[in-house]
Structure 1
């Protein structure tokens, strides 16, 4: 497991009710830079898209390697 410092958003998308993003950044340990796969940021919870709940920021998320 590595720690990733996000430097910017490459893409934002919605998959059903999930709001996702691809992030640009670098590994704290080795300095490798790159773009992640799709990471879930949160979920739209009502029918008209006016309420958003973010994911638990303390939770670990695993992103598939490209």
Structure 2
């Protein structure tokens, strides 16, 4: 015969291991350093400024008096 196992403890240990594996995968997929986030924000601002500078706006018309 096998050992007597407390199923509640076994389930908790299994769930904890599963959650730890998921957390490790999330850290790998989404984890970025503060420097990387700052660099991405700076690049986005630069792209936005370039786009705004390239817009062709109609010339302002003077009102007829």
Considering the TM-score relative to the shorter chain, is it more than 0.5?
no
Larger helix share, 1 or 2: 2
User: Where is the strand percentage greater, Structure 1 or Structure 2?
Assistant: 1
How high is the TM-score relative to the length of structure 1? 0.17
Higher relative contact order (CA 8 A, sep 6+): 1
| Larger-Rg structure | 2
